[in-house]
Structure 1
Amino acid sequence: MAHSTILAFYLIATGLTYGFNGDSFELECPDECDCHYFRINWVTDCSESNLTEVPYDELSLSVYILDLNGNNITTLKPFPGDIKMRRLQIANNRLTRVDKDAFKGLEYLIDVDLSGNNISYVDPEAFLDARGLLNVELQDNPLTSVEGPFLASSTLQYLDISYCNLSSINTQFFDNITTLTTVDLSGNPLKTLEAGMFDVLTSLETLKLNDCKLTSISENTFASAINIKYLELSGNQLINTDWPEVLGKLLRLEYLNLRKSGLTSLSEDTFSNCTNLVTLILADNELRDLDVATTLGNSVTHLELLDLSNCNIQGPISGETFTNATRLKTLYLSGNPLVAADLQAALEPLPKLEKLFLSHCGLRDLPDNFNVFDNLLELDISHNPLENVFTKLLAPLEKLEYLNMGYSNLSYIGPDTFAKMTSMKRLVLSGNDLLSLEAGLFGNLTQLTTIELEFCGLKRPLNGLAFFKNLTYMDLREIRLGGNPLVIPASGPIFPKQLSQVSILDLSNCNISSLNVDAFKNTENITDLNLGGNRLRSELGSLSFLERLHHLEKINLGSNNLTTIDPEVFTHNPKLHSLNLLDNPFVCDCKIAEMWDWANMIKGDLDVLVGAKSAEKDIVVKGNKKKKNLYCHYNETQLRNMTTMVNKTVPGRRPFAKPRELTFANRTWAKYVRESGCEPVVKILRPVAYVGEIYDYNQATHISTGVTIVAVMALGLGVASVLMTIKLFRRKNVVDADTETNRKVR
């Protein structure tokens, strides 16, 4: 009876743990790929797998997303018939052309990413079978000059052909893709834009022409593209452009970016027809003599954001500068040589201003009329030689929520500096050589949510004297101390009790080699902890400080000196859902497999391990082409002895269909787990872990994880016992019946 019960319990555990390396056995998956569900969609991730061809015969017909980025594929052949693929990612390979046959039959295809290859030719009918095609990415390919229509699609909305070495766009280029709403032509040496180029794109709303070496734009270039709302022309040399004519037809234009476009002057009627303009970016142009008031005129009455950063404006910014832009909410003046007195007069007509950026302006003092800005919420005065003279000038900003005084040559901040800023939520003091903080400095900032003190030369974490002694700062949830040479005490907490509600803590790049077990005794509510870029090692008890962080949800241990890690160290962190272990010198051993199993079965989602599989950011349009993976490495002895193990079939791991040999010492965790020969280890069943997460540290019941686990196991054993009892009872009845029958026969 006992033996049968244990066997039943073991079978349940084995069933739950099948597929521990993160692969589902429901659908086909090529040997060199990692497959999983993303939401309800089947993802086949073959990225960075040294493939020289697409594994057509091993693909599931139900694959939704196929990721082949970062391989050595040179040609494409037709995919299997009836394949249901929606998104194909094959960026950063060695393709030289896109033929029609390669995409024949791909009726369900919505997105295709062919960026970063060596493609010089694209068949105009390549995507003709994809009747629902929406997005095509071809950026960073050396396309040859196109004569006639480029592509044919009746549904295409997004086309990225930036940095494709196109020197011209013929007038028929877009004839068969007239449904486009977004086109990116940035980085092509077009030099000029001729009339008629965009005439058929009557649905076009977003057009990007950044860094195209443009020197001239025809007056009628945008004559028919009257629905354009967002236009980007940054990084060109548009010195002699007739802007009133070029922009004259764009009556619906809301966003215009002319950053770094070689502008030296703008006429007073430049934006005369752009009456719906909301955002205007003129940053990084040599507009030394710009008369802002005349240029803006009366036509930009809807303007809410104006960026004049780094324009080297020499003329005084007078009191009439922004007279016609009274709706301005965001103003960038950073990088211009400003004088406090002139600035004071210029800002007078802007009572609705909410965000003001004045960094890198050479200001030694500030305007003394900040009292007029009743609505000012954000102020950036960073990177100015302020020399500690601004205390009284900032005092009127009682509604200010964000203040950036970073890198302002400050060595001392008076204790009354922020006394009246009781609405402050985010304070940035990074980059000042403060060394220490005055007593009571943050005393009145009771609504403070974020404080940034990065690269301040601090050797001691925040001193309790900077806050009120007997007050817990309930709203202070985020502290950033990255880049400080902190000296961590060998014992006891490193933060005062006033910071007990902090939930986000950044201690990255602080030269930390160890943290004692009570380091976070006073800050046990931390949910997001960044310890990346330090010197933490895989020594006994090196991560014992995690025992107090029962609410921890995210932790970054990337770029440390960890060579191995055991899932046991996270026993006290039931809410953990994001663990970053990237860029550590991990050695390939079975602890890696245990971590994989822990994420997959105990936590129930491989996404817990950052870099274990494709994340959402890796499978979106214009996403990251080069995603980071978790790696470990074999030493030479391991590499010689692993060939036999690689071809061994281990229960619970997806087997390889073909014999393989190891040639690379560095392995992704996903590949190592499959080839390691490490048996799946079940320490806590997944359902038990879920129940533990629900009840662990519950304030109402105080039910511990241990109690919960024991209870669930007891329940499981009880159910198994009942089932076995029923089975034995039925067997007994059958035996009794047989005996009675035999007796009657005799």
Structure 2
Amino acid sequence: MFEDWRILILFCVATSLAGVRACPPECTCFQEVPSVQCNTPTLDHVPMGIPTNTTLLQIKGTELREIKKGDLTGLPLLKTLYLFDNKLQTIEVGAFDDIPAIQTIEMGSNQMSDLPPGLFRGCGELQSVVGDGNRITRIQVGVFNDLPNLQVVRLGNNRIETIEVGAFSNLSNSIVFSLENNHIREIRKGVFRAPQGATQIQLQNNNISVIEPGALSAFSKIYMLLLDNNALSTLTGALQGLDNAEIISIESNQIVALAENTFQGLHKLRRLDLSNNQIGAITGQVFANLSSLNFLDLHNNKLVRMDSPLPGGIGQVLLSSNMLSEVPPLSGALDTLDLSHNPLQSLVQGQFSHIPSITTLGLSGIKYFIEKGTIDAGVFAGLGRLGTLNLADNRLTRVPSEALGKINQLDTLNLSGNEITTLHPSDFVNQTTIMTLNLSGNNLTSVPENVLDKLSRIQEINLSGNPIVYVGPRAFRGEQLFMVHLDHTKLRIIDGTAFNESVEVKSLRLNNNYLQFLPGGIYEPLTFYGDLMELEDMTNNPWKCDCQMYEYAQYVRTPAASALTTLECAGPGNLTGQILRHVPLDALKCDCSHFSSPKIETEGSSPSVPIGHGAVLKCKVTACPEAAVIWTTPTGVSLTSDSQHPGLSVLSDGSLVVVSASSEDSGTYSCMAVNYLGKATATVNLRVTNEPQVTTDVATTSTGPTEGSTTRPTEGSTTGPTEGPTEESTTIPTEGRTTRLTEGRTTRPTEGGTTESDEESTTKTTTGIGTSPYDSQSTAPDTNTSDRAKVSMWATFPLMFTYAVMFFLM
């Protein structure tokens, strides 16, 4: 009896083991979750002998071209079949007959051009079909029919042009139809036959020009319909029956008009996007039925008129880039309104006061502002909750501080793309709550001290795309300032104390400027507590790796600077292309017989000129290494030889040419010269009159002496402090910051053999921070021949022209 039982047990075990096949050699089998992966690149067939208990089969990245009937025999438990990224062209009808438990079939990224009717017959448990990225051109009747458990159909990125009537029918549990990025031309009534359970239909990026009335009405449970980037010119009847839809997006089509019944029955619709169409006018009660509408996007149409009243509870309305000449009727509950880039003829005082709930307002590119060049003081009256204001592209010549003064909770201000030339201390006096300030793309030429003082909560400042040449001491302030954009400017000089009052800056963009050196301690305040810069970009600057970079080169070798990006030398020749951090310190030299901070002479300047005549203001600089020269006009415009400003030009010898003087050019001009040892300033007065031109010398002024002392040794000399000031000495200030001149610092030799003492003095202002110009000859002491020719030409042309006219009249 016992022997009989043992024989029976052995027979059952043997039978069971026989049913679980060994793993095919082309595959990898996993026992814990019965799955098989057959990803051999040369595989061109479905392997034989796959274990019968397999629930997941993956064939990926192979040469497999077809699946025949019988290839999947003996896999009654298979639930998931992955066939993506092969060269599959054909799947025979009946190939899936032997996998009745199948739930998911993914066959994306293959070469199939057709799905034959009956392909999924017998797959009563099928829930998901994914066929993205094939070459399918049509969907026939009989492919997706009578699949009661099907939830997802994804056939995006194919070449589908037509969908036959009845192609999708009796799919009561469907959730998503994803047919985007195809060539579908029309949706005919009956393509989707009831019952349809789908809540999302994705038909964007096709060529659909027609949706027959009622074609989508089978989707009684729909939540979202996407029809973006098609060719629809009308919506008549297209949205019938979508009573449960909450999101409809039909942007970038060719819709020209909206009928009053277009949105009939869409009582649950919350978001409607009709942007980038051709709608010219909206009148009547078009939106009357949309009681739940919260978001309406009509930007970039051709709207000249919009009289249709909006639902009372709507929160966001986007009407930018249209042709509206008047502000349309607006709901008093609006949260967001964008009217940017419309030819509005007028914006009166208190224009939006009946909408006190607005928190975001877009008024960029408004014709009324552009023509006035300013913004009336009362336009924003009553907007006590306004937090974001866009005023870009309005040709504003200064910050509209009076109008902004009516807003007391502003946190984001966009003034980009205007024509603001200078910033004044009073510009942001009442804007203590601003956190993001965008001034990019204006005509700002400098960032002076104290202008941004009142922005105590500022976190981000964008000054990119301005012709800024100079960033002054302590220009950036604010305990919360985190991000500064100073890229794509003409920046030549950035003061070493620029960030002393904004120690939390962790993102700084200085790329694509004209910087040649950085002060040694410029980043020290930003790493004082050991915090490293999270993002800084200093690429595409003409970095000159000479003595002016010596102190910064020392700094980047310290642990605090380890996270800073590498800085590549643009010169001099033997160091071009090298990384500053790797350049030996003794290679950072300047060809100076005696090192000195700048000294300025202004003799020979034009004190007065008649209107229409040219004037030359002199700024002869003596310095080694050479200094960059920055002129500032009476209107606050700062210029270097790299600047391109109408009617003004800085020559390579430092002179400023006023091409044709007008009365607005009268006033005091300031010349500043900067190298790493310090800076000097001098002023020149110009008077523009109607009287004959008089040539006399002009008196110049400069700031007072500075303090501080440190001795730099010369090559072959003994270093040590001097006894006192010498005739050729230069004073370097240390007030208010840690400078390069600290007691006990290791000094470095110069090349000329003379010893320079920093206990020297000058009658010009020096600060221990500066740069050499983009053109290495731009601050040469003597005017070169070409510059003299240009000066002579501009200065004498008006007089020569007058003589010529007089001769002709005689």
Tell me which interval the TM-score lies in, with the shorter structure as reference length. 0.5 to 0.7
Alignment of 1:367-382 (within 5 A): 368-382=378-392
Alignment of 1:171-250 (within 5 A): 171-175=165-169, 178-200=172-194, 202-242=196-236, 245-250=237-242
Alpha-carbon distance, 1:516 to partner: 8.3
Q: 1:314 aligns with which of 304, 310, 316?
A: 304
Distance in 2 (CA, whole Å) between partners of 1:170 and 1:407 is 51
Distance in 2 (CA, whole Å) between partners of 1:349 and 1:453 is 34
Question: For the structure 1 residues 212 and 297, does the alpha-carbon distance in structure 2 shift closer, same or farther, using more than 3 Å as the test?
Answer: same
Distance in 1 (CA, whole Å) between partners of 2:184 and 2:156 is 11
CA shift digits 1:469-498 (9 cap, x unpaired): xxxx22222223344455587xx9685122
Q: Which amino acid aligns with 1:502?
A: V
The answer as to whether partners of 2:234 and 2:257 remain within 8 angstroms in 1 is no
The answer as to whether partners of 2:349 and 2:379 remain within 8 angstroms in 1 is no
3-state SS of the aligned residue for 1:121? coil
Tell me what 2:599 maps to.
none
Question: For the structure 1 residues 138 and 505, does the alpha-carbon distance in structure 2 shift closer, same or farther, using more than 3 Å as the test?
Answer: same
CA shift digits 1:575-607 (9 cap, x unpaired): xxxxxxxxxxxxxxxxxxxxxxxxxxxxxxxxx
Distance in 2 (CA, whole Å) between partners of 1:265 and 1:342 is 30
Distance in 1 (CA, whole Å) between partners of 2:298 and 2:257 is 13
Q: Which has the higher contact order (CA 8 A, sep 6+)?
A: 1
Q: 2:249 aligns with which of 240, 254, 257?
A: 257
Distance in 2 (CA, whole Å) between partners of 1:53 and 1:94 is 11
Q: Which amino acid aligns with 1:188?
A: N
The answer as to whether partners of 1:227 and 1:252 remain within 8 angstroms in 2 is yes
Distance in 2 (CA, whole Å) between partners of 1:464 and 1:311 is 47
Q: 1:474 aligns with which of 472, 479, 489?
A: 479
3-state SS of the aligned residue for 2:337? strand
Q: Does 1:500 align with 2:503?
A: yes
Alpha-carbon distance, 1:451 to partner: 2.0
Distance in 1 (CA, whole Å) between partners of 2:427 and 2:222 is 47
Alignment of 1:478-489 (within 5 A): 478-484=483-489, 486=491
Question: For the structure 1 residues 548 and 265, does the alpha-carbon distance in structure 2 shift closer, same or farther, using more than 3 Å as the test?
Answer: farther
Tell me what 1:417 maps to.
427
Distance in 2 (CA, whole Å) between partners of 1:85 and 1:485 is 64
Larger strand fraction of residues: 2
CA shift digits 1:314-365 (9 cap, x unpaired): 2486888334x443323333343323427975x4543322222333444415
**Long gaps (5+) in structure 1:** 1-27, 32-41, 570-746
CA shift digits 1:48-92 (9 cap, x unpaired): x9x6769999x9x99999997xx796647789999999896956x
Question: For the structure 1 residues 467 and 118, does the alpha-carbon distance in structure 2 shift closer, same or farther, using more than 3 Å as the test?
Answer: same
Distance in 2 (CA, whole Å) between partners of 1:512 and 1:134 is 59
Question: For the structure 1 residues 321 and 253, does the alpha-carbon distance in structure 2 shift closer, same or farther, using more than 3 Å as the test?
Answer: farther
The answer as to whether partners of 1:359 and 1:381 remain within 8 angstroms in 2 is yes
The answer as to whether partners of 1:454 and 1:481 remain within 8 angstroms in 2 is yes
The answer as to whether partners of 2:170 and 2:196 remain within 8 angstroms in 1 is no
The answer as to whether partners of 2:133 and 2:158 remain within 8 angstroms in 1 is yes
Alignment of 1:314-713 (within 5 A): 314-315=304-305, 321-323=328-330, 325-341=331-347, 345=351, 347-362=352-367, 363-364=369-370, 365-366=374-375, 368-388=378-398, 390-459=400-469, 463-467=472-476, 473-484=478-489, 486=491, 495-507=498-510, 520-524=523-527, 525-526=531-532, 528-531=534-537, 545=556, 547-549=558-560
3-state SS of the aligned residue for 1:246? coil
Q: Which amino acid aligns with 2:132?
A: L
Q: 2:259 aligns with which of 259, 267, 271?
A: 267
Alpha-carbon distance, 1:447 to partner: 1.4
The answer as to whether partners of 1:148 and 1:173 remain within 8 angstroms in 2 is yes
Tell me what 1:626 maps to.
none
Q: Which amino acid aligns with 1:314?
A: V
Q: Does 1:302 align with 2:307?
A: no
CA shift digits 1:348-394 (9 cap, x unpaired): 54332222233344441546431222222222232333333633222
Distance in 1 (CA, whole Å) between partners of 2:274 and 2:45 is 49
3-state SS of the aligned residue for 2:501? helix
TM-score (norm: length of structure 2): 0.51
Larger radius of gyration: 2
The answer as to whether partners of 1:309 and 1:334 remain within 8 angstroms in 2 is no
Distance in 1 (CA, whole Å) between partners of 2:578 and 2:99 is 47
CA shift digits 1:395-417 (9 cap, x unpaired): 22221222222222333344333
Distance in 2 (CA, whole Å) between partners of 1:250 and 1:114 is 30
Alpha-carbon distance, 1:220 to partner: 0.8
Distance in 2 (CA, whole Å) between partners of 1:283 and 1:151 is 36
Question: For the structure 1 residues 257 and 266, does the alpha-carbon distance in structure 2 shift closer, same or farther, using more than 3 Å as the test?
Answer: same
Question: For the structure 1 residues 440 and 337, does the alpha-carbon distance in structure 2 shift closer, same or farther, using more than 3 Å as the test?
Answer: same
Q: Which amino acid aligns with 1:529?
A: L
The answer as to whether partners of 2:141 and 2:168 remain within 8 angstroms in 1 is no
TM-score (norm: length of structure 1): 0.55
Tell me what 1:283 maps to.
275
The answer as to whether partners of 2:475 and 2:498 remain within 8 angstroms in 1 is no
Q: Which amino acid aligns with 1:523?
A: L
Distance in 1 (CA, whole Å) between partners of 2:64 and 2:431 is 61
3-state SS of the aligned residue for 2:197? coil
3-state SS of the aligned residue for 1:302? coil
Distance in 1 (CA, whole Å) between partners of 2:122 and 2:42 is 26
CA shift digits 1:562-586 (9 cap, x unpaired): xx999x99xxxxxxxxxxxxxxxxx
The answer as to whether partners of 1:185 and 1:209 remain within 8 angstroms in 2 is yes
3-state SS of the aligned residue for 1:497? coil
3-state SS of the aligned residue for 2:461? strand
The more displaced of 479-488 and 279-288 is 479-488
Distance in 2 (CA, whole Å) between partners of 1:82 and 1:464 is 78
User: How many residues align structurally?
Assistant: 505
3-state SS of the aligned residue for 2:381? helix
Distance in 2 (CA, whole Å) between partners of 1:96 and 1:302 is 48
Alpha-carbon distance, 1:501 to partner: 1.0
